[in-house]
Amino acid sequence: MRPLRLAACALALGLSAMAAPSAEAEVRVTLKSASSTSSYYVMMVQLAEMLRLESDGEVLPTVEESQGSVQNVTEAGRREGAYLFTTPPSLLDTARAGEGPFEGMTGFERVRTLFVMPFVTVHFVVDAEAEITDLTELAGHPYIPGGTGTFCERRTNRIFEVLGVTDVDAVDVELNNAASAIRNDRVVGFTTCSSHPTPQLVELATTVDVEILSLTDEQREQLIAADPLSGPMTIAAGTYNGQDEDVQTVGVPVGAYTTTDMDDDTAYFIVKSFWEQRDQLAEENPWWVAVTPELIGLMGTELHPGALRYYEEIGVDIPQDMR
């Protein structure tokens, strides 16, 4: 593979020149994950560039910014064309049940799995001057529990509920504005749910003295017991400026999905290209290192036929309910 040239500052990539799954016509693929300050947006830029370099110009990827997984899944129920999006698997279960933010919506039965993404790491970020050392100490303080209407907001509220964290003054602000809200003393902190290191926090930690709250062993055990899909995550010391110790938190699996609108050859090409170039992707961004084909069973949604063909070719064990 030729060296990847990741344009991390790209706002919306109208990337051209990709290797086509067929020689008949160009295929446009939209990639959508999160806000431009998120590590998942950078991942989409990286994936789009990788696909472009692996192609000869017949699949044209465009990276779109998103408010997060809730928006991605909502669009999957009605969006036409080849659409690649990211979300935790549990949110698709919620959508298919018509619950929460998806009440009254339909169309989610056409969602299909492509591949595994790096897991979400839940970061509880606070201004160091607030001298808060535990989640329970957030009571009475203004705090942004993830972006408005996002999976992260829902996850934060659920964590607070399980741990008995009450009376937090939740501030309704988009996550893109969280850093400026801390700088201007409007809030003591925020939650961001993204693979680490997340660009937003890397930038903030270079200009503001922040702390990332660590969960106790008992708190993590409570959260994992309440949600079996959650797992322990460690943010190693030195990941962010001023972070001198490991931070213990939780994470959730994330997948790359599409819909039945994507043709089989395109799905096969995308999945095959991703796994064959995964090591090259990891050389540029280490969050890809832990992603393996064997984790596909955690995605919980039926595989796209094109993706299934590739996994069968390489001998991956696929759960019967995902076939």
Cβ(281)–Cβ(288) below 8 Å: yes
The position carrying tokens 């705090």 is: 143
Residues in the chain: 323
- The predicted pLDDT at position 12 comes to 37
**Neighbouring residues of 11: CB distance < 8 A, sequence distance ≥ 6:** 36, 65
In the predicted structure, residue 57 carries a pLDDT above the cut 70: yes
- Over residues 246-266, mean pLDDT: 95
Q: What is the DSSP string of 219-276?
A: HHHHHHHH-TT-EEEEE-TTSSTT--S-EEEEEEEEEEEEETTS-HHHHHHHHHHHHH
Tokens coding 41: 């947006």
Alpha-helical (H) ranges within the chain are 39-53, 69-76, 89-96, 151-163, 178-183, 199-205, 217-226, 264-276, 278-284, 305-313
Cα 288 to Cα 173: distance, rounded to the nearest angstrom = 30
Average pLDDT taken over every residue of the chain: 89
In the predicted structure, residue 321 carries a pLDDT above the cut 90: yes
Please, what are the domains in the chain? 27-117+255-322 (3.40.190.10), 120-252 (3.40.190.10)
- The predicted pLDDT at position 194 comes to 86
Give the number of C-alpha atoms closer than 13 A to the C-alpha of residue 314, restricted to the C-beta side.
14
**Neighbouring residues of 188: CB distance < 8 A, sequence distance ≥ 6:** 126, 127, 130, 132, 138, 141, 142, 143, 182
- The predicted pLDDT at position 179 comes to 86
Fill in the amino acid letter for 137: E
User: pLDDT over 70 for what percent of the chain?
Assistant: 92
Kindly indicate the confidence band of residue 172, based on its pLDDT and cuts at 50, 70 and 90: confident
Kindly indicate the confidence band of residue 20, based on its pLDDT and cuts at 50, 70 and 90: low
Which tens digits make up the pLDDT trace of 37-46? 888 999 999 9
Characterise 25 by phi-psi region: left (phi > 0), alpha (psi -120 to 50), beta (else). Answer: beta
pTM above threshold 0.95: no
Which tens digits make up the pLDDT trace of 93-146? 999 999 989 999 999 999 999 999 999 999 999 999 999 999 999 999 999 998
Which tens digits make up the pLDDT trace of 299-319? 999 999 999 999 999 999 999
User: pLDDT over 90 for what percent of the chain?
Assistant: 71
- The predicted pLDDT at position 7 comes to 39
Does 36 or 7 have the greater pLDDT score?
36
Fill in the amino acid letter for 112: R
Cβ(132)–Cβ(141) below 8 Å: yes
- The predicted pLDDT at position 286 comes to 83
- The predicted pLDDT at position 4 comes to 42
- The predicted pLDDT at position 24 comes to 55
- The predicted pLDDT at position 198 comes to 85
Kindly indicate the confidence band of residue 52, based on its pLDDT and cuts at 50, 70 and 90: confident
In the predicted structure, residue 17 carries a pLDDT above the cut 60: no
